[in-house]
Structure 1
Amino acid sequence: MEKVLLLHSSSDGQTVKILRHIETTLGGDYQCELVDLNTLPTVDFADYDRVLVGASIRYGHLNKKLYQFIERYRDELDQNKVGFFCVNLTARKEGKNTPETSVYMKTFLKKSPWCPKLQEVFAGALRYPRYGWFDRVMIQFIMRITGGETDTSKEVEYTDWQKVEAFAARFKHY
């Protein structure tokens, strides 16, 4: 049985939900461990056959702790079977939902000393009723200027689960 480390840097939980879906898709031949990357965990990569890192965008940026983790473990990330995906609301739009077309992935690759060989971009979820006042107003403003949903009574999940499953299959055979 292969051991898989699922690392997440999640703001509102959609990245964790995607990782859990990937865990289910991988099936019973994989023993998965989910760890919050934002705690800057100590990781012994020798304990795992594969590692998958999922990170969400919040107000246009990935969490700085992701970059700290990469700095600390860059060599291990380069030497092991490691995949990376980014979750953001912009990816709900065609033409902004691939590693080649996502401005956030491009920015990540410029800022990061690590260039993952296996990459993907997923659309996230909009959870207005769960946000505090400030986040709700700010996200509504961002959605207004980007042509997205502005009804603050709604929750909208933009994640393409077939795309997640296809990525899980690529990760499985990576």
Structure 2
Amino acid sequence: MEKVLLLHSSSDGQTVKILQHIEKALGEDCVCEFVDLNTATSVNFADYSRVLIGASIRYGHLNKKLYQFIEKNLLALKQAKAGFFCVNLTARKEGKNTPETSVYMKTFLKRSPWQPELQAVFAGALRYPRYGWFDRMMIQLIMRITGGETDTSKEVEYTDWQKVEAFADRFKTF
């Protein structure tokens, strides 16, 4: 039985939902453990055969705790079979939804001392009714500027689940 570590830094839960989908795609031969990067104190990478980190973008940035975690665990990450994906609303658009075309992935790779071999970018979800007033207004403004959904009564999931499953297949054989 393979043991897999699924680390996440999620703002509104879509990153965790994507990891749960990947867990199902990995099948019964894998036991997955979920760890929140925002609260993780230490991780023993030797306990896992594979590691996957998923992180969401909020207001144009990955959480600084992600970078702190990477710096603290850089050697272990470099030695592990480890992959990374980021989740953002910009990836809902063709041409902004791959590691090569995502400004967020490019920024991550410039800032991070860890350069994961396995990478992906997924579109997230827009959950207006769940946001507080400030976040709802700011995200609505951003969506207006970028030509997205502005109706604050709606929830829209942009994640391409077939793309997630294809990535899970790549992660399985990585």
Q: TM class by shorter-chain length? A: over 0.9
* Aligned pairs (5 A) from 1:1-174: 1-174=1-174
CA–CA distance in structure 2, aligned partners of residues 85 and 132 of structure 1:
26
CA–CA distance in structure 2, aligned partners of residues 98 and 159 of structure 1:
13
Q: Does the CA-based 8 Å contact 1:40-1:65 persist in structure 2? A: no
CA–CA distance in structure 1, aligned partners of residues 172 and 103 of structure 2:
27
Amino acid at match of 2:89: L
1:40, CA displacement in angstroms?
3.1
Amino acid at match of 2:80: N
CA–CA distance in structure 2, aligned partners of residues 173 and 113 of structure 1:
24
CA RMSD, Structure 1 to Structure 2 (Å)? 0.4
CA–CA distance in structure 1, aligned partners of residues 50 and 25 of structure 2:
15
Instruction: After the TM superposition, list the runs of 4 or more consecutive aligned residues in structure 1 that deviate by more than 6 angstroms.
Output: none
CA–CA distance in structure 1, aligned partners of residues 100 and 75 of structure 2:
24
CA–CA distance in structure 2, aligned partners of residues 170 and 68 of structure 1:
27
TM-score, normalized by length of structure 1? Answer: 0.99
Q: Percent identity?
A: 83
Amino acid at match of 2:110: K
1:41, CA displacement in angstroms?
2.8
